[in-house]
Structures are given as structure tokens and as C-alpha cells.
Amino acid sequence: MTHHHLKASGATCHWGFFDAALKPKLTIASGDTVTVDTVTGAPEVHPKADAGFMTPPEIADVHAHAEKTLPGHILTGPVAVEGARPGHVLEVRIEDVQLRQDWGYNVIRPLAGTLQSDFHDVRLLHIPLDLNAKTGKLPWGLELQLAPFFGVMGTAPPPAWGRVTSIVPRAFGGNLDNKEMVAGATIFLPVFVEGGLFSCGDGHAAQGDGEVCVTAIETALQGRFTFILREDLSFNYPRAETPTHYLTMGMDPDLDRCAEMALRDMIVLIGEVAGLSREDAYTLCSIAADLRVTQTVNGSKGIHCMLAKKLLAPKTLLAQKAA
């Protein structure tokens, strides 16, 4: 097992899109670990040079040279995993997430977010981040504890989809904005193209469920991921685990539809892990599972269903499948 480092640059970042035709920037073996550097934000959201903030030095190169054809996020990648084929699943263990700069930004934009008609002016905040205390200081004095995670993590879409925006979450993952995906969590992503082609970005220092004004505390992050090819798993939509919970997901413009998707997949997962009937699994979900709003601002909204692992078995889904 080998450790790699994929740095952000104009050559290793793609801006605003996922595409099965992208060439991998790094090819690894299953079981390898990769440290991935990311950057964030178009030039207009960055503070002035004399503001006293630190910024990753490669940001100018990324702004000038990263391929950009659609509005959206600056993503580092893709990373290809040897042997990954359509129908497989890529297990991505989030080993560590670190801040790369001492500031983040939040923007309110007219005609965006959950309350699209309520706010008519652009407001840009630069929020100081304390890298040692892991806190952010908001303008009214609140010191908020940070919980950094990547808003966007995804494989490449099916080739027939062509180039798709990074803004809308889909079956390959992408802009999930799921705040549970901090260090220690694992996300399972369907593979639609050879190598899987994983990319990530959209660093968040902190976010509430919903991400209602369309931005969190947006910032540059460094992540360390372990990639494992799972030929023994087969599903068509992302799933995830934390140390304590299973997660299933639904994405659709209609939140009711999102809830149905996440719940149906949780019923399937319970059957796989614990062998319960669909009726028993449905009952358990009603008694003990939580439907949470992931985000309400990305075109397709999101619901994730969470169920405590201890209610099913002492083993994780990972251990259950490997046994």
C-alpha cells in the first residue's frame, strides 16, 4: 500500500464539472492512500492581498489555467483506481481533513438559496478561522466550532451523460453537501467508468443541514483518503458510514421524493446487514431511523437517512461484507 500526494494546480484541477472523458491526474492501486489538496472560490470572493489572510499559493495558477466550461466548484482530480470497472463500488475512507487557510467565505446571492425571493442584495463575508482552536469568528462575535468536510466528492458520471455541472448532486455523488462526511466517515460511490475517476473539492469549515443561503463557510481543505475497490458490492447510488451510523441518500428537486429514495435504500441496507424482512426494516426505520435534510439549494435537494449501527449488529457494513 502506497501513499500519494495530489496537489492542486491549474493542471490537476477542473472547474465546475464532472466528465467521464477526463484523464486521471493520478492512478493508484486499491488500498492506497492519497492526500489531496483543494482550493476554493472564484477570484471575486477572495479577500484583497492586504487583508492579512493566508491563501494557498497555487490559487492564481488554478484561476488562470484550470479547465472551466460550466459554473460550479473547483475540484482536484480525478484519481483512478486500477481495476475499477462499471458496476463496481469505490469505498473512500476519509482518514483526515485539515484546513489549508485561515479564512473562509459565505455569500448570500439574490435568486439563490432556499429563500430565493427574500434577499435582494449580494453579501460577501470573510470569516477568520483559528487553525489551532478550530473555530471561526462570525461578524457578531460568535465563535463557532468547526467541523471541516468536503461538500463535493464523486466519481465520474456515465459516459453517455457527457459533461455535467458539479452543482447538482447525482448518482455518482458530487455536490452532496453532507456534513456527516467528516474525518472518520466512509463514503461508498458507484463506479460508472473505468478507474472510477474520483474528484473532490468544495471545502466547508462548517455547515448546517440545509446549507440554506447556498454557501457554508467555504474554504480550502486538504484531505487524506484511502481508496478500496469493492467488487463484492453493487448499488447504483451513494451510501456512507460514520463510526456510529449507516447513511443512505436521496437527491431530487422534490424533498418528498428524496425522503422516499433514502428510506427505500435504508430498508434494503437493513436487509443486507441484518437479514430483516422489508416489513421489519420499515418498522425499524419508523421507530429508530432519522431522515435529515442534507441540503435544499443545489437544484436537486437532498435527504439522508441515518440509522445507528448498534441497532443491527456489532459489525459495520464494511466488515459484514468482508466476512
Dump pLDDT digits (tens) for 112-152: 999 999 999 999 999 999 999 999 999 999 999 999 999 99
How large is the average pLDDT for residues 274-299? 97
pTM to 2 decimal places: 0.95
> Is the four-CA dihedral 162, 164, 170, 175 of positive or negative sign?
positive
At 29, the pLDDT band (50, 70, 90 cuts) reads: very high
CA distance 257 to 263: 10
Specify the residue for cell string 489572510.
Answer: 53
| 56, three cell numbers | 494557498
Q: Give 43-70 pLDDT, tens digit per residue.
A: 999 999 899 999 999 999 999 999 998 9
What percent of the chain lies above the pLDDT cut of 70? Answer: 97
Q: Which tens digit of pLDDT belongs to each residue from 80-116?
A: 999 999 999 999 999 999 999 999 999 999 999 999 9
Are 234 and 87 spatial neighbours (Cβ–Cβ below 8 Å)?
yes
Q: List the grid coordinates of 48.
A: 484583497
**Residue where the block lists cell 435544499:** 296
Omega before residue 78 within 30° of 0, cis: yes
Q: Are 110 and 121 in contact (CB under 8 A)?
A: yes
Contact status, residue 51 vs residue 106, Cβ threshold 8 Å:
no
Residue listed under C-alpha cell 448499488: 235
**Residue 52: other Cβ atoms inside 10 A:** 10
On whether the CB atoms of residues 93 and 153 are closer than 8 A, the answer is no
318 falls in which pLDDT band (50, 70, 90)? low
CA 262, 264, 270, 271 torsion: positive or negative?
negative
Structural domains for the chain: 3-230 (2.60.120.580), 244-322 (3.10.28.20)
Mean pLDDT of the chain: 96
Quick check: 75 and 172 in contact, CB under 8 A? Answer: no
Say which amino acid occupies 313: A
